[in-house]
Structure 1
Amino acid sequence: MSAVESGAGEWTERQRDVLDAALRLIVEGRPLTMTSLASAASCSKETIYKWFGDRAGLLTATVRHQASRVRGTPLPEGRATRDALEASLHRFAVEWLTVLGGQTSVALNRLAVAHAGTDRAADLGAIVLNNGPLAMEARLVPMLEAGRVAGILDFDAGDADTAARSFFGLVVRDVQIRLLLGDPLSLSPTEIERDAGRATRQFFTLFAAGQDRPAGGDS
């Protein structure tokens, strides 16, 4: 079983080193091939093929490795509370903004946009979409659904994905598009904490149970 099939959580330290080397090649604007990666990571091409499969598998693993830096704080098993959910969402937002604002994600997303909609076998646009934002949404949905079941959040059953996309919009705002277009935006840890806290508060303003829904979020 390849590392891509087994999942990011089961990668070895050496495999993560190779994926970090792949990300460095992307940031430096160098072609990401099995040959270039083998040289950059001091690893044989045969080993890379064994671990990650073909080029599409390598790209998928690279994107998953970058996305795995956004984890949040798991809710306590069986006892979701407002404070625990708020803390978990806040941490998720902090990690997401930190990753999103880094030069690695900017370079990866720019390359993905260039690939998007192509007929290439390894369409990086689709790989980033499926293993980046959609994969993070899939991790967030169970957390939000647990909040709904516990009576903390108020949205229709089966609509947690819509709530997740609302949270994403509040967190990201226009940050990603500005970065992709070359805005030299630099978010300090203090600014990231502030923006993550604001997004979390706005999300609860929109979705907290037991209150009237306002026309818009707080500032």
Structure 2
Amino acid sequence: MNAAANKLEEQTLTDRQKAVLDTALQLLVEGGEKALTTSAIARAAGCSKESLYKWFGDRDGLLAAIVTRQASKVRTPAHSDEVVSKEQFVQELNHFAQDLLEVISGEVSLALNRLAIGQASKGDDALGRQLLEQGRGRIGEQMTQLMAQGAKLGFVKVPDAHAAYQILYGLVLKDIHVRLLLGATLKQEEADFKSAAGDAVSQFMQLFENCTK
């Protein structure tokens, strides 16, 4: 990835940059890959192509920024060591679970994943790698740290923090994402994301809660 994209990752996105990326995401939803050009993004966002290149660099840099922007909508604790009570720990798990359901079930994430799958079938795995590294990978790193903190403080008993995160991820999403990608609609109880998230976290805590503490 080029220097411009690397530089962007090291700083906080401005409101203007966030708006531009959200415009790009909407173009993708409405028009697919063909709509996702620098000219179209610049025109729809009311900025110049020069600004896009300055902020995001080449196409891979723009895709990385788009994926990072989408992944940022899933709340994860910036500093897991600030979670010092069991109540905080469970609250963070609930925030994560609810946000994950909302983001993954949204039109933007579905469009990104469908595009990545289509490109991968043609031998182009660039977007797929971005989704894994900049999206799920980053979220996974932060949540693994939270799991390790929870284990350290005795809130849960997990020999492997990353494996525990993966189990939570599975409990939250089940097969929802696959079904949505294939065109299915959510059942009424699944569409109540707050309730579904709470159920998943409760199931996770029942599996891993350290009752000796």
Structure-1-length-normalised TM-score: 0.86
Q: Aligned equivalents of 2:26 and 2:204: distance in 1? A: 35
Distance 1:18 1:8 in 2: 18
Alignment of 1:118-197 (within 5 A): 118-120=122-124, 123-156=126-159, 159-185=160-186, 191-197=192-198
The higher-RCO structure (CA 8 Å, 6+ apart) is 2
Task: Assess if the C-alpha contact under 8 Å between 2:5 and 2:62 holds in 1.
Answer: no
Shift of 1:161: 0.9
Quote how far apart the aligned CAs of 1:163 are: 0.6
State how far apart, in whole Å, the 1-side matches of 2:138 and 2:149 are: 18
Tell me if structure 1 keeps the 8 A contact 2:172–2:200: yes
Q: Does 1:19 align with 2:21?
A: yes
The equivalences for 1:58-73 within 5 A come to 58-72=62-76
* Mapping 1:50-129, distance limit 5 Å: 50-72=54-76, 77-78=81-82, 80-116=84-120, 118-120=122-124, 123-129=126-132
Q: 1:100 is matched by which residue type in structure 2? A: I
The alignment's C-alpha RMSD in Å is 2.3
What TM-score do the two structures reach when normalised by structure 2?
A: 0.88
- Taking the aligned partners of 2:63 and 2:82, their CA distance within structure 1 comes to 36
Unaligned runs of 5+ in 1: 212-219
Task: Report if the CA contact (8 A) 1:63-1:131 is conserved.
Answer: yes
| Partner residue, 1:198 | 199
For residue 2 of structure 1, give the secondary structure of its aligned residue in structure 2.
Answer: helix
> What runs of 5+ residues in structure 2 fail to find an aligned partner?
none
- State the 1:149 CA deviation: 0.6
Q: Which residue does the alignment assign to 1:214?
A: none
Separation in structure 2 between the aligned mates of residue 169 and residue 8 of structure 1, nearest angstrom: 30
Contact 1:148 1:154 in 2 (8 A): yes
Paired letter, 2:179 = R
**Alignment deviations for residues 16-53 of structure 1 (CA, whole Å, 9 cap, x no partner):** 11101110111012421212211121211111011001
Distance of aligned partners of 1:75 and 1:58 in 2 relative to their CA distance in 1, 3 Å threshold: closer
2:12 to 7, 10, 13: 10
The count of corresponding residues between Structure 1 and Structure 2 is 208
Q: Provide, for residues 60-119 of structure 1, a one-character-per-residue CA deviation record: whole Å limited to 9, x for no partner.
A: 000100110111456785562221111110111111111111111111111111123654
- Shift in Å, 1:190: 7.2
Q: Taking structure 1 as reference, are residues 72 and 186 closer, same or farther at Cα in structure 2, changes over 3 Å only?
A: farther
